[in-house]
A and B are shown apart, each in its own frame.
Chain A
């Protein structure tokens, strides 16, 4: 019979001091959430988390799910048994049986967390290595670059053996670092920005601005889908959908043409800040990177920042477009981002936008209109959608 468990190693939580149990508890909670449909037993023990009672046939898939849980460095699919030399030997031989016919190299690594175990690490490596060489003549030892690293961990009440680890996303468990409001557009950048902030343990809320009839229902559905993809990492969150047409047409009618985009962004930031405050978020997150478009020159960013008091996080600020695309592909949002229901607000994009706007000028342009009632109306008519975190394999 086979006893299997997942052995979870933490990422940065190691660095934590006295509040480490808080991070660990949060991580246990997130692991339970990710595997909620199977309801496994999740046990925290001295720098490891063990996940028991998973159906054997789906182990790979369950392990892969944990690659989306922030706070985990790696997951290994392990066999476990009694802390006796006989059991350890038997498990080792069973695990390596898969390589019986192949001339592979291996090395045994051992960790003895329970020092009462009669053999020390070095002895375990030597003895088990010897047994394996005898059982499988095709195997060879390579202490420098083994093809199969076989790890033995002697823990408080059981021994665990595994032959490799699945690297996970790292970061910190979501919910350990407060909450931030992501401005999400439907493009490639903002979902990546949301991912990166969530990775630091920050819970998200997200806000999207739409301009019916300049944008369609499909454009909206696309944003909801992007938010769902981000929530696979960031957990459940609320998405705020803000009607923005009135503000856009007013800017068009009343303000200088070349400043349309920057003004629009200032007003989006203002609405985002108020919405953030109302839901307990302490910062705004955008997908901007310096110089990508006219509204992201350093001057434009300064003007945008000036619209709000809240900190604005721009995790992609130093990234090239190529680098952002690469990450979007890796986290799985790229294919959705490039669907062609881009907002067709091109009428509101000036042919010749300002690239070096000044804060004073833009404040003056914004003061040409009393936007306050429109901001209030937009917030009043905002629709909130609960984005649910459904794991997809």
Chain B
């Protein structure tokens, strides 16, 4: 199988699965339990916190564990607005993941919240001039995606953060880092909240984290037993957390080699595919974009049909984010970037992982070239 849909999810590393298994069948204890076994689990979980915090140059206390990207994003939005009294403005971008976009949109339907959606340019970069103009004293939250899941665009969070601190000092700045964490540098982002999800970097599904800068206005997510400093109640998913820790640690140890490998594969795939006539790159130039996401339009072919045509060859790609892939009609992200018509219909997202090989890129490109040629014979007439 040539799996090129790593932005949808990744294969769990055996080491991570092993760590999770050990935390289920061996040290299965509740970290909140009063006896020694519990205390030792709590210590292990706090070590995992430190590992997760490192790429963000954060302190371990600033990491709270969640069930994944969607929960982190929901908690970020609701938790940062909970204490706000009176009229407020919430700013986000047109290319956010549904777990931010829909959540913020739901606020706009209540009375005293004004939602501003920033446009993006054709490479998917949010318009920072529009951000500057939109920032007000009563802006309570700005939420921007770090790496776009469909186009690979890397938002300049640092620049955005500077504007926010000057023009909207009471605003909480959240970034959805689900596609960015470990793939691009995250050590000087200047954000207050940052979401991440384990299954995007070879750890199990159903676990993730939210970075909460100490001192930021954040009332927390789900309520209950008061775990995670009362910011996220619920028994900790220790198997998931330790699996995530293991995968994150391995990623950090191999960081530059793994990123380099993805970059090489992406370049190779791109070079191969661009030799097919009428193929257009969507998103920023390769060197600017995240190392693992490549979005191309095969004009005259429907992306959905090409995707299915690759199935018998055991090649998995996507026409867009899996969270939106089942909805019929337009692709919101590409539409926002002005990628329309034939170009939108023919778009395919390739997303890589460190374990893809150059040989896979050559083989995939060869099959794609053949299939594109075949499918182009049948255009609507």
Contacts and interface: CB of A to CB of B under 8 A. Distances in A.
Interface of A: 212-216, 249, 252-253, 257, 340, 342, 344, 346-351
Contacts of B312: 213
4 cross-chain pairs, A with B, having the tightest CB-CB distances, nearest first: A340-B328, A213-B308, A213-B309, A347-B378
**Which label, helix, strand, loop or mixed, suits the secondary structure of the A interface?**
loop
A216 B305 CA distance: 8
A344 B302 contact: yes
Contacts of B306: 213
A249 B374 CA distance: 11
Contacts of B309: 213
A158 to B, nearest CB: 55
Interface of B: 302, 304-309, 311-312, 326-329, 375, 377-381
Given A340-B327, A340-B328, A216 B380 contact: no
Contact of B380 (A212, A215, A253, A349): A349
Contact of A344 (B305, B327, B329, B379): B305
Contact of B378 (A212, A252, A342, A351): A252
Contacts of B375: 213
Contacts of B381: 257, 350-351
B152 to A, nearest CB: 25
A361 to B, nearest CB: 19
A59 to B, nearest CB: 40
B305 A213 contact: yes
Contacts of B308: 212-216
Given A213-B305, A214-B305, A214-B308, A347 B380 contact: yes
Residue in A216, A253, A351 with the greatest tally of chain B CB atoms within 10 Å: A216
Contacts of A347: 302, 305, 378-380
Contacts of A340: 326-329
14 contacts: A213-B306, A213-B308, A213-B309, A213-B375, A216-B304, A252-B378, A253-B377, A340-B327, A340-B329, A346-B380, A347-B305, A347-B379, A347-B380, A351-B381
A344 B304 contact: yes
Q: Which of B305, B326, B328 has the most CB of A within 10 A?
A: B305
Given A216-B308, A347-B305, 19 more contacts: A213-B306, A213-B311, A213-B312, A214-B305, A216-B304, A249-B378, A253-B377, A257-B381, A340-B326, A340-B328, A342-B328, A344-B302, A344-B304, A347-B378, A347-B379, A347-B380, A349-B380, A350-B381, A351-B380
A109 B139 CA distance: 72
Contacts of B329: 340
